[in-house]
Amino acid sequence: MNKDKRPLLEVKDLTTYFHTEDGLVKAVDGISYEVFPGETLGIVGESGCGKSVNALSIMRLLESNADVGGSISFEGQSLPELSERKMRGIRGNDIAMIFQEPMTALNPVFTVGNQIEEAIILHQNKSQDEAHKMAIDMLRKVGIPEPTKRVDEYPHELSGGMRQRAMIAMALSCNPRVLIADEPTTALDVTIQAQILELMKSLQDEYGMSIIMITHDLGVIAEVADRVVVMYAGKVVEYADAVTLFKNPKHPYTWGLLNAIPRLDIEQDTLYNIPGVVPDPLHFPEGCKFNTRCTFCEERCKKEEPELIEVEKNHYARCFFIEKVEKEKAKTKAGENL
Amino acid sequence: MSVKKTEFKRMIRRYFKIPTNVLGTLLLIIFIIIAILAPVICPPKAGADPFKIPIATWSAAPVAPTADHPFGIIGGRDIFYGVIWGTRSAFKIGLVVSLISALIGVVVGSISSYFGGWVDEIMMRITDIFMSIPFLVAAMIMTTILGKGLDKVMVALIIFGWMRVARLIRGNILQAKSEQYVLAAKALGIPDWKIIVKHILPNTIFPVLVQVSMRIGSLVITAAALSFLGVGAEPGYADWGTILSYSRNWMTELDKSWFAILYPGTAMVLFVLAWNLVGDGLRDTFDPKMK
Amino acid sequence: MINQKDKEILLEVKDMVKYFPIRAGVFKRVVAHVKAVDGVNFNVFKGETFGLVGESGCGKTTAGMTLMRLYDATAGKASFKGHGDLLQLKGTALRNMRKDIQMIFQDPYSSLNPRMRVKNIIAEGMLTHNLAKGSEVNDKVADLMQKVGLSTDHMYRFPHEFSGGQRQRIGIARALAVNPDMIVCDEAVSALDVSIQAQVINLLNDIQEEFGLTYIFIAHDLAVVKHISDRIAVMYLGKIVEMTDKHSLFDNPLHPYTKALISAIPIPDPTYDKKRVILEGDVPSPINPPSGCRFHTRCPIAQDICSKEDPVFEEKKDGHFVACHFVE
């Protein structure tokens, strides 16, 4: 891993709490990770785990009822301490974001070209004409056919895949150092998803940017991520490089997830069943947040919350009983599955 | 079923959490009490129609409030009596008109959206035609044809008041038709009429109830406007608008007739406010997103 | 899922077509059609799970809805054992058919009437078809709830008090309540989280044997379809391009679209070596599908003939059907 290079983005003990009329919602409750130059960090978890809120917290795009704590440091600068003006200079310029639903992320009353030009004019001080040319170039680069025609079209005139490409063009127009992609392909068909992931990979090679890929799809993570953060109930439960995570998961949740998904490459008899449901963020259980669903849960888990500890080199897990997962894995290896 | 009770209790608690809802409900209760106690507060003369404001003086000039006539006299009539009994008229107009026009609207809107096709087209065009006629003008023409009197005002208001509800319920039904639970009911073999009654209407009727309660206030104002213009209730009728119509003659001399405008006017404003606040509160309470 | 297929045919679909008219102008004249399903042929055997898979716009959901008579077919025939041609049924015959084919819907948040209690949601079908009376109803509902993994204490609750996965279970119980022979699962797990998906998929498998059910499983997620189905049909722009048992489909896909589809799916294993076939362009519009073979605009091996002649959907090997001019 890149322990010798300095991280581009460093998140330490990030917390994001929402004050709602029903109580305090701890959407993100103390997460830490690093993003190094040129790599892809995957953040994976199911709905409600806090992965998207975490991205919005970095970009400072949350509303005033959100309480963001902890440190977010980009190229040495502390983001939460920047003035709004300085932050705007970073958004879209140094750190860009793309979202899940291209139809709602693109403004329906402006042409695609306009929206790309807006970012260019704002951050790079170019004239309208220059920006227009650059927008066409960007559209061509992201693989949109007939870019000179498309640049003047409105979002609803493009297909879902095209819109997502347009959004990528918008995000990359100012050559950001970090691209945050929040479920960018979830709403797309599988063949279009493949196109978009290929595109992102080739653009990453060309621009040398880092990508934070946020998704619930473990397949996508395996495709693109170098290192992975697994989130559950607002916390990081496992953190390792991709190969290690998939081949040698330590946390019961990660292990459970990997066994719960139907696989094209493996024969499965029954899918592993993670019992129960994700807990209500207003009523998190005492102790380990996963204890209500964990097959290896013991008394200690119900009272104490485990820390995130380094269980092997550069592999972190938040669990008291990872050896139980090891035993289970050995059992199934002896059987037919993983 | 205890679950239904707790659901109901939760809605009531949610409703009363908001101070404007409490205010609106309180105002309404005060008006209801006044309306019920009208015969006690202002006992009518024996044998007379209680809705005719008794003549207090034969002079034409307005008389400022006194101990005997706390709200003053205008057009020879006791304003206090008019305001108190006018509360009953206000409720009568408001409730009767809005409920009947809502009923017509629900029937038209349901049939229109259920049958669809040509039926829908024709009914909606008829609705459009009614909607395009300026309400006040239409109501005035109707009362000119039908004659003066509060009940004729109500008929006019009903004839020209059902369209909004029809459109509202039609829109809701069209949307509900494509909900998956309606498809599921169809897939189970449930007959169409039952689907409308059991599945669609209960999920679409609440916005209608909200609209109905919000209309009550504005209906009273419209009725008052008609009375003010002289095409509403008969002269001397115990109705806020009628009192105001007397002050028409004295509009240039407000120092002499301010009480004839202030008291019935205040009553109207508070009445409309009460219904608006309650309507708002109901809408928020019934909003399923507030679960 | 059972291994020994009962070769008895439960449903036979022939040349089923569903077009949606597009109207324009003051007089709402029909100016074009969305050719959602454009002639599909397949059989479903009793006791099996028949997977129908494809991307958005391929017509799989429309096919399911047409079979359920929630849409009326434009053309074609669908013989369902004991009921004759499904697509032509009317009146009482149609109502009776509804007992035997049920549907589980995609959206757990809109497939249950928010103002009805769970007990009534499940019992409604039973009561409509007179399958139970009086106190029997409660017992049957309780039994069904247990079978799908719900606590009977919750019988009088409202849908919003349940999670997405639990709502899907309620939907399953509702479908089971009328004792159907066949259930069409229309993207039944697509809207659920991964860990909940697994629960519901396992449930569907468990009850299949117990209740003697045949499934048509419609989904866009090939991995899920592979797990649960016995045979699979792949749809593209209103037509079936390939159909066979699941092992043959994945071990030996014949149609270029199937190959691209399979290779496009990301595998949760970073070390998996995979030859990727990336399709160019977008899915064409079903209003104006390409001439000849609909896939030719994106096909890596398209030739001249592909834009002129629509390939015939026929059996190339035992039970393996393809529609392509260039099958090896």
Among chain B residues, CA nearest to C97? B189
CA–CA gap between residue A121 and residue A128 (Å, rounded): 7
Task: Indicate the pLDDT class of residue C123, thresholds 50, 70 and 90.
Answer: very high
Cβ contact C195–A46 (<8 Å): yes
pLDDT for the residue A4: 53
Count of CB atoms situated within 10 Å of the CB of B281: 23
Tokens of A276: 């129960």
Whether B57 contacts chain C with CB within 8 A: no
pLDDT for the residue C145: 95
Task: Indicate the pLDDT class of residue C252, thresholds 50, 70 and 90.
Answer: very high
Asked whether residue C104 carries a pLDDT value surpassing 90, the answer given is: yes
Q: Is residue C159 part of a domain?
A: no
Q: Is residue C129 part of a domain?
A: no
Contacts with A46 (C-beta within 8 Å, 6 or more apart), sequence order: A216, A232, A278, C193, C194, C195
Cβ contact C174–B188 (<8 Å): yes
Asked whether residue B284 carries a pLDDT value surpassing 90, the answer given is: no
Asked whether residue B230 carries a pLDDT value surpassing 80, the answer given is: no
Cβ contact C193–A270 (<8 Å): no
Q: Is residue C271 part of a domain?
A: yes
Instruction: Scan for tokens 């034409």, then name that residue.
Output: B60
pLDDT for the residue C241: 96
* DSSP designation for A320: S
Element (H, E) at A16: strand A9-20
Nearest to C105 among B1, B180, B189 (CB): B180
pLDDT digits 0-9 by tens, B86-111: 899 889 888 999 999 999 998 898 88
Nearest to C195 among A225, A243, A274 (CB): A274
Q: Is residue C138 part of a domain?
A: no
Rounded to an integer, the average pLDDT of B69-89 is: 86
CA–CA gap between residue B169 and residue B174 (Å, rounded): 8
pLDDT digits 0-9 by tens, C283-300: 888 888 999 999 999 999
Task: Indicate the pLDDT class of residue B253, thresholds 50, 70 and 90.
Answer: confident
pLDDT for the residue B6: 63
How many domains does the structure of chain C reveal? 1
Cβ contact C111–B184 (<8 Å): yes
Rounded to an integer, the average pLDDT of B131-145 is: 83
Mean pLDDT of chain A: 89
Among chain A residues, CA nearest to C298? A191
pLDDT greater at residue A307 or residue C26 = A307
**Looking at this protein, which amino acid is placed at residue C103?**
M
* CA neighbor of B57 nearest in space, from B39, B34, B73, B45: B73
Cβ contact A274–C270 (<8 Å): no
pLDDT for the residue A277: 84
Find chain C residues with C-beta within 8 A of B288's C-beta: 114, 160
Asked whether residue B288 carries a pLDDT value surpassing 60, the answer given is: no
DSSP H helical ranges for B68-195: 79-115, 117-132, 135-146, 150-159, 163-177, 180-187, 192-194
pLDDT greater at residue B256 or residue C85 = C85
Among chain A residues, CA nearest to C276? A194
* CA neighbor of C314 nearest in space, from C246, C240, C232: C240
Range in A145-154, A319-328, B43-52 the model is least confident about = B43-52
Predicted ipTM > 0.90: no
pLDDT for the residue B4: 54
**Looking at this protein, which amino acid is placed at residue A4?**
D
pLDDT for the residue B283: 81
Query: Within 13 Å and on the Cβ side, how many CA atoms surround B274?
Result: 20
Rounded to an integer, the average pLDDT of A76-91 is: 90
Residue C198: CATH number of its domain: 3.40.50.300
The phi and psi torsions of A212 (rounded to 5 degrees) equal: -105, 110
Domain that holds residue C293: 9-113+180-322
Element (H, E) at A30: strand A23-35
Which chains have 3 or more CB–CB distances shorter than 8 Å to chain A?
C
Cβ contact C172:C231 at 8 Å: no
CA B98 to centroid of chain Cα atoms: 5
pLDDT for the residue C295: 94
Find chain A residues with C-beta within 8 A of C221's C-beta: 262
pLDDT digits 0-9 by tens, A103-133: 788 888 899 999 999 888 988 888 999 999 9
pLDDT digits 0-9 by tens, C158-181: 998 898 899 999 999 999 999 999
In chain B, pLDDT over 70 holds for what percent of residues? 96
Q: Is B143 helix (H, G, I), strand (E, B) or coil?
A: helix
Q: Which of C113, C118, C154, C176 to mutate to test the interface with B (most CBs of B within 10 A)?
A: C113
Cβ contact A262:A268 at 8 Å: yes
Cβ contact C185:C104 at 8 Å: yes
pLDDT for the residue B207: 82
Q: Is residue C120 part of a domain?
A: no
Mean pLDDT of chain B: 84
pLDDT for the residue B5: 61
Contacts with B116 (C-beta within 8 Å, 6 or more apart), sequence order: none
pLDDT for the residue A72: 94
Range in B9-13, C69-73, C254-258, C278-282 the model is least confident about = B9-13
Asked whether residue B289 carries a pLDDT value surpassing 60, the answer given is: no
Tokens of C50: 């028949």
Q: Is residue C165 part of a domain?
A: no
Asked whether residue B291 carries a pLDDT value surpassing 50, the answer given is: no
For chain C, list the strands marked E by DSSP: 9-24, 29-45, 49-53, 75-80, 84-85, 101-104, 182-186, 214-219, 231-236, 239-245, 314-317, 320-322
pLDDT for the residue C273: 78
Spell C247-274 as b/e; 16+ CB within 10 A means b.
ebbbeebbbbbbbbbbbbbbbbbbeeee
Tokens of B124: 């909606």
